[in-house]
Structures are given as C-alpha cells and as structure tokens.
Amino acid sequence: MEGQEKIKNSSVLVIGAGGLGCPVLQYLTALGVGTIGIVDHDIISESNLQRQVLYYQTDINKSKVEIAVERLGKQNPNVKFIKYFVQLTNKNALEILKDYDIVIDGTDNFATRYLINDACAILKKPLVFGAIHKFEGQVSVFHYKDDANSTGVNYRDMFPIPPSPEEAPNCSEIGVIGVLPGIIGTLQATEVLKIITGIGKVLSGELLFMNALEMQFYKVEVSVLDQTTVFSIDEYKNFDYGQFCILNEKEPVSEISVTDLKNILESDRFNLQLIDVRELNELPVVAELIDINIPLSQINEYVSKIDNQKKVILICKSGVRSKMAILKLQRDFGLKNLHSLKGGLIEWLNFNNVL
Amino acid sequence: MKTEVLFFGIIVDITGKNRMEIDNCIDTFSIKTAIINEFPKLCNYKFVMTVRNQIVSDNKILNNGDVVAFLPPFAGG
C-alpha cells in the first residue's frame, strides 16, 4: 500500500503520444499515477493505427493529445491529465518539464531527443528513454541519481553528437512492426514504476537493446564521461537544435510561412508548383495544397518533375523533411527556386482551423 | 583468430546482416577498418563500438572469444 501511495503522489510527463507513448500512458493510467502530462503536437493519421493502440479509425485527423486524454480519463478518472498540444522546443521545454518528477521520451526524431536529454540534465530529472528502429528497440534511464552515482548517466555519454535526420528516417518511411513499440513502451513504464516505488534496480548506466526478430536482449554498459558538459540555461535556450540535427551544415534553406503561402495561392497560383515530399501513403491528404507527390526517399530519381521556371514549395508534415529535400536538391542539382513550408501541413491545417 | 561482429539498428540496413565473423583482426581499430572497407557507406553514420558489452573509445586489443558490436542511436517512436 505504501507503493500505491507513492504512485498516487507522483507526476510523470510523457513526451510523444505515439507508438511508445500509447502503451506508457495506458499503464501509467492503470497504475494510478497522480498527474500525467502529455506533450504532442501531432494529429492521428491512418498509418499510425497499426501501432498506436489508443486511437480508433474514427479519430483520424484529430489531435492525439485530445483523444488520448479522452480515452485515458475513462480508463481511470482519478488521474489528473495535463494536455500540451505544442511542439516541444528548447524555448518551452524547461518550463514544461520542471513540474514533473519523471520525464518519458517517446518522440521520433533526434533533434527532440537531444533537447529533452539536455533539459533533463539541466533540471536533474530522471529521463526514461525508449526508441525503436524497424525490429529493434532501445531503453535506458538517464540522469538518474542513486547511492553510487550523484548525477546519473547522460545520453550524450553514449552518443555525444546528434546524427543527421537522414540517419533516422521516421517510422512511416522505414516501417516498424506494430507490436515493437508496445514492448519497448511497456519496458519504459516498468522503469517508471521502479523509480517511483524504489523497487528493483533501475536501468541506469546501461543501454538495453532488444531485437524482436531474434527475441534477444543485449545490454551495454554506459559510464559518465568527464567531457560531457551540461548547458547553462542561456546556452540551452539559444542552441539551434533544428539546424544542428539537419545535416550539421550551414546551408541556408528558404522557408515560407503559411500566411505568405495563402497570399501567393490567391495572387499568383499559376507560377507556383507545390510538391508533397511525404511518402505515398501518408495522411492527411490536403488536395488544394499539392500538385505532385515526390517522396523524399525517391527525390533524386524524380528531380526532372520539378519546374525550374516556377516558385517551388516543398511540403511535408511538420516542415523538417521538406528542408532536408531542399538541402539535397540544392547540393546535388544546384536548384535555387525551392522553398520549404514552415511548420508543414500541421501548421497549415492549424492556420485554417481544420484541427 | 576469428572475432564475432554484431550489427544493430540502421547499421543492419547497410550491412544486410546482423552478425558476421572476421578473421585475423588483432584490435578494434583493425575491425573498424575492415568493416568500413567492406561497407563504405558506414562512414556517414554515427555509432559506438563495444567489446564484451563495454564501450571502447580508444583502440583495444582483442582476445579470443571477444564479441564486437556496432551500435547506432535509434530515433523512432
């Protein structure tokens, strides 16, 4: 009963209500964690449903945070849920994270993972890390203080430098087996339970690899490195995580805001070419905004379809892959008439009040 | 001496397999060189190497029966 009391008095922030976030949220809710915060700026798409088990077919195009809280509230009305329908950035992360005991990373890109890690390092919050790739997963707990270790291992002790986004295609591009995030997310929830109640040995100082095809677990020891430094708050807020993770290069990419796009659509539609760089099966379909679809993974093969006489705007879900596509096209083909829709389709739909 | 080498995550996408055996490599540096020669694309990726589940940052002499792993960070969720 003492353990149950600790669970009730705890607060946990789940960042990303996707493949990993869904099982984590379901178990934390069932366990009766007192306060659960959920951060996600994404909407539900059909391709999510094979692994994001909180959502139904009828939820497509609705906000993940809204639907998750609606479902979880029915599962356990005693839990207090706090919704953050925002994109986590280094400008808002410290403010959001500071009120929670434990932070869970269930996000899907390196930029966000590094900025969460660095925020937890500054705030000295335990970070329950989980990540997946195709048939494999990783789990660990960072910044966890125990008797033997005063600061806890930092994610940067293992991987000091963020990879480029090209090293990390998202789940829609590579595919991931639907049950895998269920396994990895449940392992994350197990670690949360151990941290709160103090039972067992927390998975700190070790990174666990799990392979679903061979059904094998592989643990690697990670130690605190002297050269890993923690940002000051000012350094953190001024650090450009987006750019740092985009190819580590300083090539400029022209971005266009949704407001400017709307104006050009009304005034000069004829001189505009709109290209969707998402993979072929991705939703939502926003027909008024797309002339052709050239997935980022095939962009080199279809470069001839890009009109060099027009103003060309590349569009994806959140404005990251469209920037990657432009970097590629500028570098490999010298194209100069390309612009990325800032914030992508999510921003466009928000702007038009569809969400 | 044969050394077993394990690959994880996106590295498997490049090598096309999750394990292989390498002959006559006396240390981790020569394993890394041999693997990158065989799969040059690996140069574009970040990974750490481990021997017997411990991360190696400098060159390390290998013993008979050591298992070397190439471990990249994962981003998906």
Q: Above 80 in pLDDT, residue B1?
A: yes
Q: In this predicted structure, what is the pLDDT of residue A168? A: 60
φ, ψ for residue A217 (rounded to 5)? Answer: -110, 140
User: Would you kindly state where each structural domain of chain A is located, as residue ranges?
Assistant: 2-245, 255-351
Would residue B42 count as lying in a domain? Answer: yes
**Rg value, chain B, Cα:** 12
Q: Under an 8 A CB cutoff, do B53 and A21 touch? A: no
Catalytic residue among A22, A120, A245, A316: A316
Would residue B45 count as lying in a domain? Answer: yes
From B75's Cα to the closest Cα of chain A, the distance in A is 5
Would residue B48 count as lying in a domain? Answer: yes
Q: How many domains does chain B have?
A: 1
Q: Under an 8 A CB cutoff, do A133 and B18 touch? A: no
Contact partners, residue B26, CB within 8 Å, separation at least 6: B1, B61, B62
Q: What CATH number does the domain containing B26 carry?
A: 3.10.20.30
Kindly state the tokens that stand for A63: 């906000």
Would residue B19 count as lying in a domain? Answer: yes
Residue-number span of the structural domain to which B12 is assigned = 2-71
Say if A2-245 and A255-351 have the same CATH topology. no
Helix (H, G, I), strand (E, B) or coil at A124: coil
Would residue B49 count as lying in a domain? Answer: yes
Q: Under an 8 A CB cutoff, do A109 and B71 touch? A: no
Alpha helices (runs of H) in chain A, residue ranges in sequence order: 2-8, 21-31, 64-75, 93-97, 110-123, 155-158, 171-174, 180-197, 233-238, 241-245, 258-267, 321-333, 344-351
Q: Tell me whether residue A171 is one of the annotated catalytic residues.
A: yes
Q: Under an 8 A CB cutoff, do A158 and B48 touch? A: yes
Q: What angle do CA A31, A18, A181 make, to 5 degrees?
A: 75
Kindly state the tokens that stand for A136: 């494999």
Q: What amino acid occupies position B74?
A: F
Q: In this predicted structure, what is the pLDDT of residue A244? A: 43
From B55's Cα to the closest Cα of chain A, the distance in A is 7
Q: In this predicted structure, what is the pLDDT of residue B62? A: 94
Task: Name the residue facing B77 among A107, A158, A222 (closest C-beta).
Answer: A107
Q: In this predicted structure, what is the pLDDT of residue A350? A: 85
Kindly state the tokens that stand for B76: 């998906």
Q: Tell me whether residue A22 is one of the annotated catalytic residues.
A: no
Q: Write out the H or E segment, with its range, that includes residue B14.
A: helix B10-15
pLDDT digits (tens, 9 = 90+) for B13-60: 999 999 999 998 999 999 999 999 999 889 888 999 999 999 998 899
Would residue B53 count as lying in a domain? Answer: yes
- Class of the CATH-defined domain A2-245: alpha beta
Would residue B77 count as lying in a domain? Answer: no
Q: Under an 8 A CB cutoff, do A167 and B45 touch? A: yes
Would residue B76 count as lying in a domain? Answer: no
> Which chain A residues have any C-beta within 8 angstroms of a chain B C-beta?
16, 18-21, 105-110, 113, 130-134, 136-138, 158-159, 161, 163, 166-168, 170-171, 174, 176, 181, 207, 209, 211, 214, 218-223
Q: Which residues of chain B lie closer than 8 angstroms to A105, CB-CB? A: 77
Q: In this predicted structure, what is the pLDDT of residue A248? A: 38
Domain A255-351 in CATH 3.40.250.10? The answer is: yes
Q: Under an 8 A CB cutoff, do A132 and B73 touch? A: no
Q: Please, what are the averages of pLDDT over each run of 10 residues along chain A (355 residues)? A: 93 98 98 97 90 96 95 98 93 96 95 95 97 96 82 92 68 74 98 96 96 95 88 90 50 87 92 92 83 88 92 91 86 89 89 74
Q: What amino acid occupies position A213?
A: L
Q: Which residues of chain A lie closer than 8 angstroms to B69, CB-CB? A: 218, 220
The residue length of chain A stands at: 355
- DSSP class of residue A78 equals T
